[in-house]
């Protein structure tokens, strides 16, 4: 069983829709990360959280430590949000252990 499981693997939405991506993990963590990767490769850190909820613009991330579950929400989605969203947990050396990613496509 993978240490980090994401769902869904693929997600297609219409512009303006509210989007949720889920992440479950099976290991003890110091922090959970949500990352964004556009075609072409570069990875951008969206959130790092260890409890509660964080908000940045139209993005909201929540985490429930007891249930080992996190969600990433995008409000009023836009085609420029199309990317792969990756959940990751921190490893013992500060490295990241990645989920398989959710490919989001937002149609105009």
Partner 1 sequence: DTEVTQTPKHLVMGMTNKKSLKCEQHMGHRAMYWYKQKAKKPPELMFVYSYEKLSINESVPSRFSPECPNSSLLNLHLHALQPEDSALYLCASSLGRTNEAFFGQGTRLTVV
- Does residue 93 belong to the site contacting partner 1 (CB under 8 A)? yes
90 contact partners, CB below 8 Å, separation of at least 6: 29, 30, 31, 32, 33, 96, 97
Of 51-90, binders to partner 1 (CB under 8 A) are: 86, 90
- Write the CA distances from 81 to 49, 66, 87, integer angstroms: 21, 30, 16
String marking each residue 16-45 x if it binds partner 1 according to CB under 8 A: --------------xx-x-x----xxxxxx
Residues at the contact surface with partner 1, assessed by CB under 8 A: 30-31, 33, 35, 40-45, 48, 86, 90-96, 98-101
């Amino acid at each position: 069983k993978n240490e980090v499981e994401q769902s869904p693997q693929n997600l297609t939405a219409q512009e303006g829709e509210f989007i949720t991506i889920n992440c479950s993990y099976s290991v003890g963590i110091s922090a959970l990360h949500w990352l964004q990767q556009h075609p072409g490769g570069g990875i951008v850190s969206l959130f790092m959280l260890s409890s509660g909820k964080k908000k940045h613009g139209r993005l909201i991330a929540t985490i429930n430590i007891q249930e080992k579950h996190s969600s990433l929400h995008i409000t009023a989605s836009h085609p420029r949000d199309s990317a792969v969203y990756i959940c990751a947990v921190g490893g013992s050396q500060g490295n990241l252990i990645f989920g398989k990613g959710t490919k989001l496509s937002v149609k105009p």
